[in-house]
Amino acid sequence: MVSAVTDFDVAIVGAGAVGLAAACLLSQQYTRIALIDNVPFKEWQQSDDYGLRVSALNIASIELLTQIGAWQDIRAMRACPYQSMHVWEQQSETHIDFDCRDTSHPMLGAIVENQVLLAALNNIVNKHSNIQYFNQHSLQHLSAVSSAAMLLELDNEVRISAELVLGADGQRSKVRKCIEVDQLTTHYQQLGLVCTVNTELDHQQTAWQCFTPDGPLALLPLDEHVCSIVWSVPEEKCRQLISLSDEQFNHQLTAAFEHKLGQLDVCSERKSFPLRGAQASQYIDHRVVLLGDAAHVVHPLAGLGLNLGLADAQHLSDLLHVSDRPLGSERVLRQYERARKSENILMQKSLELIDVFFRQERSFAKQARAVGVNMTNKLLPLKLMFMRHALGVPI
Ligand SMILES: Cc1cc2nc3c(=O)[nH]c(=O)nc-3n(C[C@H](O)[C@H](O)[C@H](O)COP(=O)(O)OP(=O)(O)OC[C@H]3O[C@@H](n4cnc5c(N)ncnc54)[C@H](O)[C@@H]3O)c2cc1C
């Protein structure tokens, strides 16, 4: 027997941070929203270990989270605002500093664990009776049931229809596969090593980024004397770093970080993930929109991946809000694609350029870097231009 179809205005596949935020934003405009995720929701407790996947949320993302009512919860749970950013090149005088005192904002952003973000957003979603959560359901097929609606077939014979489908289902997006959209992928031949460390010295509410010849090493403040590490290194070196004893690893990490925060002691497991950039060849199809990692993946060096995904959700919601066209109108979806694709490609290419720029070892390249970076550090208008882009809002 074929199961009945439940009708929705919008179906969102993927309840990661981007899908959850999109659900909260759209619940202010539409009465029937379906949210689908194949992984069971995990409760968060204050006693939980620090998560290894953390995000540097910029001011635009924090404003979005405030708008949907999640930011207060996140602050009460666990988040670390940072007021400045110190970026430098290993074994050189080349450096640049960013400080919120040069802006009208009390911080540059905040470091938040993915698990905290998801728990806070889930709390908000649960408060909206117009969002129906299909938790532990996986999208199997997606097809156009008519010119006015899409049919989503989930496992356990659940079938729903929606006028608009949002694919927020991450890097290996099933929605993207169903609409047969290609992805242009760049493998950076590096792994990102992630772990949590105790720092001997106070992190000074600063996000630290050291460019080494291997790749960038970021220390992101999580709590008093606790930081999260994202160390981008060639695959072989990453495997070697993971196989070291804690003592040997601490020694190498502290040296690579040039003792800026004194002794660093790892206090978690060490994990790695492959570094790659990716862009979907198109972000939209008939009544379907891709957003977040389903549409684009960037190098983690500036911690911008999630911010771009949240900006996708905000932009789409704003366009739908002001549009007088029917939900799913191709014209509105095209506006979304035009705006977000160009912004995301620009960011992906800029991050790749920065990574390559800092990895050039020739002395000419080193000198050019020293002049360029140190001069930028002294030119406030230029610095403010970079900061406006990173914060995602006027400064
Ligand atoms: C180690 C690490 C460090 C990072 N650091 C930063 C940082 O500092 N700053 C930053 O901004 N970004 C960072 N990122 C990137 C950031 O985490 C991602 O950009 C962001 O989480 C993407 O969110 P998303 O909601 O688009 O996708 P995801 O978080 O991947 O969520 C996708 C969801 O879709 C669900 N799903 C998948 N397939 C299906 C299906 N068939 N049916 C139903 N559900 C499905 C999954 O269960 C998942 O819940 C980091 C990433 C990693 C891995």
110-146 tens-digit pLDDT: 999 999 999 999 999 999 999 999 999 999 999 998 8
Q: How far apart are CA 395 and CA 393, in angstroms?
A: 6
Would residue 395 count as lying in a domain?
no
Domain count, the chain: 1
Does residue 232 lie within any of the structural domains? no
**Tens-place pLDDT, residues 32-79:** 999 999 999 889 999 999 999 999 999 999 999 999 999 999 999 999
Domain extent, residue 159, equals: 5-67+115-184+278-354
3-state SS, 27-68, equals CCCCCCEEEEECCCCCCCCCCCCCCCCEEEEEHHHHHHHHHC
One-letter identity of residue 330? E
Going by pLDDT thresholds of 50, 70 and 90, the confidence category of residue 4 is confident
- For residue 17, give the ligand 1 atom closest to its CA: 25
CA atoms of 348 and 328, how far apart (whole Å): 28
For residue 352, is pLDDT > 70? yes
Residue 320 backbone phi and psi in degrees, to 5: -65, -35
Asked if the structure places residue 84 within a domain, the reply is: no
Q: Residue 58: which of 395, 392, 300, 394 has the closest Cα?
A: 392
CA 140 to chain centre: 25
Q: Is the CB of 169 under 6 A from ligand 1?
A: yes
Question: Exposure of 331 by Cβ count < 10 A (0-12 exposed, 13-18 middle, 19+ buried)?
Answer: exposed
Q: Tell me, using a 6 A CB cutoff, whether residue 140 lines ligand 1.
A: no
Which residue is associated with the tokens 């002294």?
378
C-alpha 309/C-alpha 300 separation (Å) is 13
Tell me the β-bridge partners of 125: none
Say what the pLDDT of residue 393 is. Answer: 79
What is the Å distance from ligand 1's center to 301 Cα? Answer: 16
- 331 CA to middle of ligand 1, Å? 28
User: Is 105 inside any structural domain?
Assistant: no
Nearest Cα residue to 178 out of 148, 154, 147, 146: 154
* pLDDT tens digit sequence for 358-388: 666 666 666 776 767 777 777 777 777 777 7
Query: Residue 390's pLDDT is what?
Result: 79
Other Cβ atoms within 10 Å of 256 Cβ, number = 17
Question: Going by C-beta distance under 8 Å and a sequence separation of 6 or more, which residues neighbour residue 354?
Answer: 301, 302
Q: Is residue 347 part of a domain?
A: yes
Nearest to 301 by CA among 227, 207, 205: 207
Is 207 part of any domain? no
Report whether residue 19 contacts ligand 1, using a CB cutoff of 6 Å: yes
pLDDT value of position 363: 67
In this predicted model, what pLDDT tens digit does every residue of 283-331 receive, in sequence order?
999 999 999 999 999 987 766 789 999 999 999 999 999 999 999 999 9
Choose the residue to mutate in 53, 155, 222 for probing ligand 1, maximizing ligand atoms within 8 Å of C-beta: 53
Q: For residue 230, which phi and psi values (nearest 5 degrees)?
A: -125, 110
CATH number at residue 166: 3.50.50.60
* Protein residue whose Cα sits closest to atom 3 of ligand 1: 53
Ligand 1 pocket mutation, candidates 25, 37, 220, criterion most atoms within 8 A of CB: 37
CA distance 258 to 255: 5
Model pLDDT, residue 364: 67
The strand pairing partners of 146, in sequence order, are: 149
> Which of left, alpha, beta for 315 (phi over 0: left; psi -120 to 50: alpha)?
alpha
Verify whether ligand 1 is closer than 6 Å to residue 18 (CB atom): yes
Residue 233 CB-density burial (10 A; 0-12 exposed, 13-18 middle, 19+ buried): buried
Ligand 1 lined by 54 (C-beta under 6 Å): yes
Q: Classify residue 334: in a domain, yes or no.
A: yes
The model's pLDDT over 199-243, given as tens digits with 9 standing for 90+, comes to 999 999 999 999 998 889 999 999 999 999 999 999 999 999 999
The beta-carbon contacts of 379-387 under 8 Å, at least 24 apart in sequence, are 380/102, 383/96, 383/98, 383/102, 384/102, 384/103, 386/98, 387/98, 387/102, 387/103, 387/108
Q: Please check whether residue 228 lies inside any domain of the structure.
A: no
